[in-house]
Structure 1
Amino acid sequence: MKIISSYSGRLSKLFGKSTGGTRTLKVIFNDFPGGAEGFELMLRFCYNNGRVDINPSNLSLLYSAAKFMEMSSDFPSTTRPNLLEQTEKSLQQIGYWTWSELLVTLKQCQDLSNSSSIVEKCMDSLIGRMALSSESSPCPSTSSQDSSGTVRVSCDSRSTESLKTCFVRGTWWFEEISGLSLSFIEMLIKAMASKKFDHGTISKFLFYYQKSKCYSTSGDEKVKTIEVVIDLLHILDWSSIPCKSLFGLLRVALSLNVSKCSRKKVENMIGSQLDQATLDNLLIPSPHGANSLYDVNLVLRFLKSFLQGGIYSIRLKKVASLMDMYIAEVAPDPSLKPSKFLALAMALPDSARDSYNEMYRAIDMYLEAHTGLSNEEKMKICCALNYEKVSAEVCMHISQNKKFPSRTAIQALMSQQVKLKNLLQPTNATTCFVDSPCSSLGEPDQKGNKDEQQIVLYAAKLDFSADNERLRAHLQGMQWRVMELEKVCRKMQTQMTKMMKSKTPNRSSSRSLPKLCS
């Protein structure tokens, strides 16, 4: 022990505090770094007059042992060789180590508590090799870079034939890095993100790591892996993460019952790029115990996250188209409550849709599957429709659809009539509503407008308690009149365009207008 204490500040302090002889002193280190192997390497250094072969395979053990035993320059005995200093000098040559040597050293550090400086240097070197190979695809085992930035080549015994295909994809390191512990993966990814490593490649690796670990672990380890992967993905640029992969991760997270915080992070990442999703992605079954077939609340949270990220016209319209398909898919579910259906239908702003035809079809399917709804509930659901953005054909269908309240049919036809008036007489058109019919209408200067205004007034005074069949027959005739006027309007607009293009006024042009406009 006297020889060892001459190199170790820790033992020297213990012997100095001892009141008895050194022969009776017993020292037990239960937490010696590297266990018996690390202790043996330290003994060889001490009993060989401070000389030991330091290489990548034992550097981390010697370094940790030197730190633990306080074998540094702080120890008063300056005449003895300094093990910590020797290991630090050897570490400066890390740029010359092969890929395999870096991994071996890094894996050894996983079980050592005081090797943070070695871990940091190894990870920096690994990241440099990965980044270099991504640009030029050199052999990862032979390419290295010293502290001056000079790339050099060394030989590695590991065959690289199996990596040729992987080089093309730039993912050759996925499998080897996956052998590190979860805590080291977390450290490595954070270091890669801070060094501006390609976020798309990082996200691919994290999904690869998650899948490989979930197959080989069970229970709490799976949950922990998923949560760490989610946390790491969350610090990346979300636009670089494939939306399809996020949905796969979410399904796994839901099946494993991960923390609410982790689920929310995945939902926010998906919501930020909801325009990249597909209908199949959104059709996620409801949680156990829920009545509905699909998890509508989850989709509503996606929409909330999407809208919070800022609305862009093209992306918003893509999401609206996706939601129309989703609403039509869930509409036949007899367990879907009217409040949830309406929340889906009205989640997006009106500007998201140029046409409400698909929304009408979804509502039609919902009313078909929910025959027990009250008239008031049906009216609330129909509020999701913008009748000014449905086609004339859809208006005709509404007027004949017995599943819809009669009042909605009148609203649809009135909106068509108002659109037509605005086209024919944009400056004098007056909008009428069923709930509050116009008390006075502008003087019509065209026979068609007068007829249509009379129709609107009549519709406003209709008794909704009357026979529905008679009402619908009247509305059908009213709709045909609206469609005829639309045709006349289109013809008039075409001829007006020709007149405007003419260089000289043509007096005969007014005679060629439709009879309605003459």
Structure 2
Amino acid sequence: MVDFPGGPKSFEICAKFCYGMTVTLNAYNVVAARCAAEYLEMTEGVDHSNLIYKIEVFLNSSIFRSWKDSIIVLQTTKPLLSWSEDLKIAGRCIDSIASKTSVDPANITWSYTYNRKLAEPDKIIEEGMKYRDKFEKVPRDWWVEDICELDIDLYKRVIIAVKTKGRMDGSVIGEALKTYAVRWLPDSVDALVSDEHTLRNKSLVETIICLLPSDKGMGCSSSFLLKLLKVSILVGADKLLREELVKRISLKLHEARVGDLLIPARSPQITIYDVELVQSVVRQYVMHEKYKWDLDVVEKNEKGTDTFILGHGSLLGVGRLVDGYLAEIAHDPNLNLSSFVELSQSVPESARPIHDGLYKAIDIYLKEHPNLTKAERKRICALMDVKKLTVEASMDAAQNEQLPLRVVVQVLFFEQIRSAASVQALNNHPSDTSLSTTNLDEECDKIAEENCKPLGKQMSQMKVTEEFQKNTKLGKNNSKNSRSGAQLLPSRSRRIFDKLWSVGKGHVENKSSETSGSSHSPTSNVPGDSKSVSSSRHRRYSIS
């Protein structure tokens, strides 16, 4: 009998039962025996307490009450799936498994497999708890590893049944899907896209995406979702499913890391990483944030800029993330300038209170793309606001030969303004350090407003001279420190700094002399440069 369910072994069980011999049933052979008995019509109508009755008693009293036996029996239904479905064995196993996953962890008395670290909510931190109590604590996701042995079709049915119960948190469902993906998806890209396993991997990934919690991915970590997106692209998963995954990722983008965003580009793209995909994720994140925040309330908030609250932590995190990603992709020689600029501009200004990260990315891009035109260099540097650079970044930018000269001038000028504002704030409130710190930005803006117009005219026509004057004493210690710091700059930046100091600082101090009665403009005091004073007096260099 070729079509006999279960083959010779199940037939042997039925034959032994008919001859009154002892029959041993277990989780591994009970499905085949039940299907064979059904095939032979060993029902109660033929004989009392027939084999079908005996097997049903065994299933209900033993198998379906056991956690691991229910999983084993469900696995053995695959070769006899049509018979198992007709006899409702698979459905009863799934219901048994789903019911046990919904049991309060405190009431779990059966054994289970758990080789992962406890999740943070499951860690016991109460002091004075006995070691035995700690050891016997059952985590909420105690069940996820055991069901990982199921094939994807049966696994899908189990997860759907668990979700239907409505008692399982989305984070636990997400952990179960992550564990299953780690268990069955290969680590290497070659094995993932091999012809032998492509269809299986594609089906597995698409099924996992469909099973994601209905809370829009909030139950899954952004790292797992991004890795799932990488795999879905490699195996060619359905486009609609990938778009749904992108939406879920955008909701948790602030939790991602730069390494998670480094998704390899696919043909016909020529870049190393898929920049367009990341830009799409960032764009959806920004749209979601704009929708979430009430624009009318934000506009009235004094700390709000660009329709966002400046202190919004997730927005600041995304700003740092994008800057870090820009620094990574800037090494790609095939990355065009437009892609870099568009991604940089995809986040609002309020996401970047400090531009050090953006400056680093721009610096790397300029070094890796030395053939940029003057207009292109100007375009990429326009992304950066020199007023938002820290002192360390400003000092580095002042010595950066890759930056356009105009940008270096701006850096030096605003560093001068910052120093002047600090001195003026201290002079206004010499006994109140906290007050001078608080008013520093206001003083800086005030001085910058007074000096920007004269400087604008100077920058359009300014010519920098190498003439230095010696034997000039500085009026204040802060001025002396600023000038001594300027001596560490390269000759080009130092000459610009000297000119700016005499133009900007002199303007401020001349204005203050009208009320104070005396003021001294700081001049250069660079040792070794006095020899060139007379010879360089008539040499002038233009800055365009």
> Does TM-score exceed 0.5, indicating one fold?
yes
1:139 Cα shift?
Answer: 1.2
Matches within 5 A, 1:333-482: 333-391=332-390, 401-409=400-408, 453=450, 456-457=453-454, 459-460=456-457, 462-463=459-460, 473-474=495-496, 477-478=499-500
Cα distance in 2 for partners of 1:252, 1:455 equals: 53
Alignment match, 1:314: 313
Alignment match, 2:147: 177
- Seen in structure 2, the aligned counterparts of structure 1 residues 266 and 487 have a Cα distance that, compared at 3 Å, is farther
1:97 aligns with 2:65: yes
Cα distance in 1 for partners of 2:368, 2:223 equals: 31
Alignment match, 1:113: 82
1:382 Cα shift?
Answer: 2.3
Alignment match, 1:302: 281
Cα distance in 2 for partners of 1:83, 1:379 equals: 86
Alignment match, 2:160: 190
Matches within 5 A, 1:135-214: 135-140=106-111, 173-195=143-165, 196-214=167-185
Structure 2 residue runs of 5 or longer lacking an equivalent are: 113-133, 291-308, 425-442, 467-491, 521-544
Alpha-carbon displacement from aligned partner over 1:84-128 (angstroms, at most 9, x marks no partner) = 999999977689632244234423443333655543332222122
Cα distance in 1 for partners of 2:509, 2:365 equals: 33
Contact 1:396 1:476 in 2 (8 A): no
Q: Which amino acid aligns with 2:65?
A: W
- Seen in structure 2, the aligned counterparts of structure 1 residues 87 and 395 have a Cα distance that, compared at 3 Å, is same
- Seen in structure 2, the aligned counterparts of structure 1 residues 190 and 458 have a Cα distance that, compared at 3 Å, is same
Q: Which amino acid aligns with 2:348?
A: P
Match of 1:126 among 64, 72, 97: 97
Q: Which amino acid aligns with 1:197?
A: M
1:260 aligns with 2:239: yes
Alpha-carbon displacement from aligned partner over 1:383-403 (angstroms, at most 9, x marks no partner) = 312344335675676566553
Cα distance in 2 for partners of 1:96, 1:223 equals: 33
Alignment match, 1:276: 255
- Seen in structure 2, the aligned counterparts of structure 1 residues 69 and 381 have a Cα distance that, compared at 3 Å, is farther
1:416 Cα shift?
Answer: 7.7
Alignment match, 2:209: 230
Range moving further from structure 2, 388-397 or 261-270: 388-397
- Seen in structure 2, the aligned counterparts of structure 1 residues 401 and 206 have a Cα distance that, compared at 3 Å, is closer
- Seen in structure 2, the aligned counterparts of structure 1 residues 188 and 199 have a Cα distance that, compared at 3 Å, is same
Cα distance in 1 for partners of 2:234, 2:287 equals: 27
Contact 2:261 2:325 in 1 (8 A): yes
Cα distance in 1 for partners of 2:518, 2:153 equals: 79
Cα distance in 2 for partners of 1:83, 1:272 equals: 56
Q: Which amino acid aligns with 1:273?
A: K
1:424 Cα shift?
Answer: 12
1:350 Cα shift?
Answer: 0.4
TM-score of the pair, normalised by structure 2: 0.58
Range moving further from structure 2, 318-327 or 164-173: 164-173
Cα distance in 2 for partners of 1:135, 1:125 equals: 19
Alpha-carbon displacement from aligned partner over 1:15-72 (angstroms, at most 9, x marks no partner) = xxxxxxxxxxxxx9x9887678889999999x99xxx999988886798799999999
1:342 Cα shift?
Answer: 0.8
Contact 1:64 1:112 in 2 (8 A): no
Cα distance in 2 for partners of 1:403, 1:305 equals: 34
Aligned residue for 1:373, secondary structure, equals: coil
Structure 1 residue runs of 5 or longer lacking an equivalent are: 1-27, 142-163, 426-445, 489-510
Contact 1:166 1:172 in 2 (8 A): no
The Cα RMSD (Å) is 5.4
Range moving further from structure 2, 448-457 or 177-186: 448-457
| Percent of aligned pairs with the same amino acid | 26
Q: Which amino acid aligns with 2:500?
A: M
Q: Which amino acid aligns with 2:456?
A: A
Alpha-carbon displacement from aligned partner over 1:142-186 (angstroms, at most 9, x marks no partner) = xxxxxxxxxxxxxxxxxxxxxx99985566544542332211111
1:249 aligns with 2:228: yes
1:352 Cα shift?
Answer: 0.6
Cα distance in 2 for partners of 1:166, 1:292 equals: 52
Cα distance in 2 for partners of 1:450, 1:243 equals: 45
Cα distance in 1 for partners of 2:102, 2:517 equals: 72
1:242 Cα shift?
Answer: 2.9
Contact 1:406 1:468 in 2 (8 A): no
Alignment match, 2:198: 219
Alpha-carbon displacement from aligned partner over 1:469-504 (angstroms, at most 9, x marks no partner) = 88974565326776899999xxxxxxxxxxxxxxxx
Q: Which amino acid aligns with 1:456?
A: K
TM-score of the pair, normalised by structure 1: 0.60
Alpha-carbon displacement from aligned partner over 1:178-220 (angstroms, at most 9, x marks no partner) = 3322111111111212323233333333233223333598332
Q: Which amino acid aligns with 2:150?
A: L
1:349 Cα shift?
Answer: 0.4
- Seen in structure 2, the aligned counterparts of structure 1 residues 376 and 132 have a Cα distance that, compared at 3 Å, is same
1:415 Cα shift?
Answer: 7.1
Aligned residue for 2:372, secondary structure, equals: coil
1:354 Cα shift?
Answer: 1.1
Q: Which amino acid aligns with 1:177?
A: I
- Seen in structure 2, the aligned counterparts of structure 1 residues 512 and 123 have a Cα distance that, compared at 3 Å, is farther
Cα distance in 2 for partners of 1:452, 1:222 equals: 62
- Seen in structure 2, the aligned counterparts of structure 1 residues 282 and 82 have a Cα distance that, compared at 3 Å, is same
Contact 1:234 1:269 in 2 (8 A): no
- Seen in structure 2, the aligned counterparts of structure 1 residues 260 and 127 have a Cα distance that, compared at 3 Å, is same
